[in-house]
């Protein structure tokens, strides 16, 4: 196993197929990031990994939303680079990760993400998620609390007031002109890789997910973050979601749209640092 990668040697030499190389991805410099492919037979994962020696604090795993891949985390990851071990996977069926069956439900996505974290020996992790990725990590925190030390949910779905594909797509169209223009360089290739049909299926899975029913069962601290200008996860939903979680705080960021990790990376990085410091000091 190369430097900058955590993993269980028994799995590396077992049934899983691993491959690593210095990053070849724009915005993910090879001096800091490693491209990783992990083939489990059912799925072929792609992830960006930066795990420098000597860092103190919890590892951070970033979990993306529907259609888009982990590439849109590069602005906030760049702000945090060098201070934390960071793992940015593409969920199977999205981005460069391949899925060899149909689209999975939220519990199934959480289960395969847990398996991927197990393969890396990741426990006590700070999970940072955007949009539908927040639903995946709330499910993971309830079903596998050993993996999560805290959650940061940025622009989390799904607002019950937009519980239809049409309403969610309408809100998404309203959000597009509010984002940084550069996000198109991520969105368009990712939409092509995922495909609109699979993207709509993932969106439906998110809308069917009864996330409200499990929020009170989350056993770790949660920070729910939203943007004042986010029509997908508006401030009212941020406050409602935070109220449902026992150990939670809601933060609304001024002049921020849905993808805070891309359009407001410094604001989100400050929140992540504060949560990581709390984990480290406990």
In a domain, 10, yes or no: no
* Total domain count, the chain: 1
In a domain, 59, yes or no: yes
pLDDT of residue 14: 54
CB 24 within 8 A of CB 67: no
The pLDDT tens digits of the residues spanning 132-164 come to 999 999 999 999 999 999 999 999 998 888 888
The pLDDT tens digits of the residues spanning 245-262 come to 988 999 999 999 999 999
Cβ-proximal residues to 185 (8 Å cutoff; 6+ apart), any chain = none
The residue segments making up the domain with residue 274 are 53-281
In a domain, 35, yes or no: no
Determine the length of the chain. Answer: 282
In a domain, 2, yes or no: no
Q: Could you report the average pLDDT of every consecutive run of 10 residues in the chain (282 residues)?
A: 55 69 89 92 90 87 94 96 96 85 82 93 96 96 97 92 85 89 87 83 86 94 96 94 92 95 97 94 76
In a domain, 46, yes or no: no
Tokens of 35: 């491209």
194 prior amide bond cis, ω within 30: no
The Cα 50–Cα 41 span in angstroms is: 25
Q: How many CB atoms lie within 10 A of CB 160?
A: 11
In a domain, 43, yes or no: no
In a domain, 271, yes or no: yes
Q: Which long-range contacts (CB under 8 A, 24 or more apart) does 113-117 make?
A: 113/63, 113/89, 113/137, 113/140, 114/140, 114/143, 114/144, 114/147, 115/40, 116/38, 116/45, 116/47, 116/89, 117/61, 117/147
Question: Can you tell me whether residue 104 is helix, strand or coil?
Answer: coil
In a domain, 5, yes or no: no
CB 94 within 8 A of CB 193: yes
Q: How many angstroms separate the Cα of 63 from the Cα of each of 104, 161, 167, 246, 249?
A: 15, 24, 23, 22, 20
Cβ-proximal residues to 52 (8 Å cutoff; 6+ apart), any chain = 4, 32, 82, 85
Q: Specify the DSSP class assigned to residue 190.
A: H
What CATH number does residue 72 fall under?
A: 3.40.50.1820
């Amino acid at each position: 196993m190369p430097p900058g990668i955590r993993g269980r040697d028994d799995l590396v030499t077992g049934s899983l197929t691993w491959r690593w190389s210095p990053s070849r991805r724009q915005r993910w410099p090879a001096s800091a990031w490693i491209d990783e492919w992990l083939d489990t037979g059912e799925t072929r994962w792609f992830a960006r990994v930066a795990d420098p020696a000597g860092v103190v604090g919890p590892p951070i795993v970033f979990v993306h939303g529907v259609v888009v891949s982990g590439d849109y985390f590069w602005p906030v990851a760049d702000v945090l680079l060098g201070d934390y071990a960071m793992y940015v996977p593409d969920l199977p069926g999205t981005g460069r990760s391949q899925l060899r069956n149909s689209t999975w439900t939220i519990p199934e996505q959480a289960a395969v993400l847990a398996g991927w974290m197990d393969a890396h020996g990741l426990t006590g992790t700070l999970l940072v998620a955007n949009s539908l990725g927040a639903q995946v990590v709330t499910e993971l925190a309830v079903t596998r609390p050993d993996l999560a030390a805290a959650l940061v949910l940025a622009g989390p779905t799904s607002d019950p007031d937009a519980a239809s594909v049409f309403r969610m797509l309408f809100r998404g169209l309203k959000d597009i002109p509010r984002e940084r223009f550069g996000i198109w360089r991520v969105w368009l290739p990712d939409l092509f890789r995922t495909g609109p049909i699979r993207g709509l299926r993932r969106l439906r899975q998110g809308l069917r997910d009864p996330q409200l029913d499990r929020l009170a069962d989350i056993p770790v601290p949660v920070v729910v973050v939203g943007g004042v200008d986010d029509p997908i996860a508006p401030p009212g939903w941020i406050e409602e979601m935070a109220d449902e979680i026992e150990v939670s705080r809601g933060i609304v960021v001024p002049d921020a749209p849905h993808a805070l990790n891309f359009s407001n990376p410094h604001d989100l990085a400050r929140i992540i640092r504060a949560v990581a410091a709390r984990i480290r000091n406990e």
